């Protein structure tokens, strides 16, 4: 099996704002050709992490290597190879979008506007409107085009779908998958659980500036288990559910809800020996996982 190429290597990344923790001791690796979701509510440390990685703010401690380059010493080279959509993206309101984007392209030494124009058509963005005349959604489209138009190796996106309508969000998700197939590496912060679940290969959950978990989304769901809800015809002995693989169960009359983390086949066979009226089995969503980590007390800064 071919070894994955490491694109981002973050070790012990820390940023303090005075005595306030922005992020602390963050360790994270991002590999070529993957979409990494960086999940957390507003104030959890997502933007601070992205800006520190790009040396837009100076870290307090830690090491960040991108493309094998030091994030501070080699920041100009890293930015040349990285597309970036900030969460507070904005352009000059009195200039046409085309004028601004062409100028930004020129900063990367690119004069060919073909990809820029293709992206604008795809996202239904009018390049000949003044930026100040655009709606919030169209301003976000301009930011997306800006992030991808130079066709760079790594794309870092801070809340990229903010302001987009649901149909445009779907189109954007499809576009991200296409970019991944073309070998792009995408690091995307979000507080929208559904979009991370839909497009990301792995997810990192951050809470109060500290990383809680980093794992493949499907693996996380498997570890969280499945929820089995069974309505029996008659009351059943609670001892029936004290078996390997059942981590938790609750009974409400003849309705039993249990969390099954392993041995599912045997659990189903055991349950089916009783008279069943109705039964459902569902995999936990990322939302359940997220709420699990954020229901442990504490407050986001």
Residues 119 and 178 placed together within one structural domain of the fold: yes
**91 is a domain residue:** yes
Distance (Å) of CA 214 to CA 122, 195, 202, 220, 272: 33, 17, 7, 9, 36
- Report the predicted TM-score, pTM, of the whole model to 2 decimal places: 0.80
Q: Coil, strand or helix: which one is 290?
A: helix
Residues 166 and 247 in one domain: no
Do 162 and 246 belong together in one domain? no
CATH number at residue 261: 3.30.70
Which of 164, 186, 218 is the last residue in one of the domains?
218
The pLDDT of residue 86: 95
Q: What local confidence, expressed as pLDDT, does residue 300 receive?
A: 38
- Which pLDDT score, from 0 to 100, does residue 298 have? 40
User: Is residue 270 one of the residues assigned to a domain?
Assistant: yes
User: Is residue 298, in this structure, part of any structural domain at all?
Assistant: no
* Same domain (yes/no): 34, 147: yes
CB 208 within 8 A of CB 41: no
Question: Are 232 and 277 spatial neighbours (Cβ–Cβ below 8 Å)?
Answer: yes
Nearest residue to 13 (alpha-carbon basis) of 57, 40, 43, 53:
53
For residues 28 and 279, give the distance between their C-alpha atoms in angstroms, rounded to a whole number. Answer: 40
| Nearest 10 degrees: Cα torsion 189, 195, 197, 203 | 0
**138 and 256 fall within a common domain:** no
How does DSSP assign 58-81, residue by residue?
--SEEEEEETTEETTTTHHHHHHT
Question: In this structure, are 85 and 212 located in the same domain?
Answer: yes
Q: Looking at residue 2, what is its pLDDT?
A: 64
84 and 164 share one domain: yes
The answer on 159 and 261 residing in a single domain is no
Q: Are residues 129 and 213 in the same domain?
A: yes
Residue 238, sorted as left (phi over 0), alpha (psi -120 to 50) or beta, turns out to be: alpha
Domain identity same for 163 and 28? yes
130 secondary structure, DSSP code: B
- Give residue 171's domain range: 6-218
Q: How many C-beta atoms surround the C-beta of residue 258 within 10 A?
A: 21
Task: Give the 3-state secondary structure of residue 273.
Answer: coil
Tell me if 61 is assigned to some domain: yes
- Give mean pLDDT in consecutive 10-residue pieces for the chain, a chain of 301 residues: 86 96 97 95 92 96 97 95 94 96 94 97 97 96 98 97 93 96 96 84 92 84 78 85 83 87 86 90 71 54 34
Tally of structural domains, the chain: 2
| E strand or H helix at 215 | strand 210-216
pLDDT digits (tens, 9 = 90+) for 30-55: 999 999 999 988 889 999 999 999 99
Asked if residue 35 and residue 159 are part of one domain, the reply reads: yes
């Amino acid at each position: 099996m071919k070894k994955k190429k490491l694109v981002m290597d973050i070790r012990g990344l820390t940023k303090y704002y005075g005595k306030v923790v922005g992020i602390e001791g963050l360790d994270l690796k991002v590999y070529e050709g993957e979409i990494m979701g960086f999940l957390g509510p507003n104030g959890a440390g997502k933007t601070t992490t992205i800006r520190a990685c790009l040396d837009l703010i100076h870290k307090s401690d830690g090491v960040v290597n991108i493309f094998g380059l030091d994030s501070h010493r080699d920041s100009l080279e890293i930015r040349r190879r990285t597309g970036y959509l900030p969460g507070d993206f904005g352009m000059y309101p009195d200039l046409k979008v085309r004028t601004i984007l062409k100028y930004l392209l020129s900063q990367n030494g690119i004069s060919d506007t073909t990809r820029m124009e293709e992206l604008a058509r795809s996202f239904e963005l009018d390049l000949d409107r003044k930026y100040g005349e655009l709606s919030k959604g169209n301003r976000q489209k301009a930011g997306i085009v800006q992030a991808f138009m130079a066709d760079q190796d790594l794309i870092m996106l801070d809340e990229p779908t903010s302001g987009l309508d649901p149909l445009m969000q779907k189109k954007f998700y499809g576009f991200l998958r296409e970019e991944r197939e073309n070998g792009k590496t995408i690091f995307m912060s979000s507080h929208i659980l559904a979009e991370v679940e839909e497009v990301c290969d792995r997810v990192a959950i951050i809470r109060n500036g500290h990383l809680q978990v980093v794992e493949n989304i499907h693996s996380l769901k498997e570890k969280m288990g499945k929820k089995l809800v069974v309505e029996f015809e008659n009351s059943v002995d609670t001892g029936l559910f004290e078996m390997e693989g059942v981590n938790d169960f609750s009974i409400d009359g003849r309705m039993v809800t249990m969390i099954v983390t392993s041995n599912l086949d045997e659990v189903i066979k055991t349950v089916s020996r009783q008279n069943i009226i109705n039964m459902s089995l569902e995999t936990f969503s990322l939302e359940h996982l997220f709420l699990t980590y954020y229901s442990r007390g504490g407050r986001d800064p």
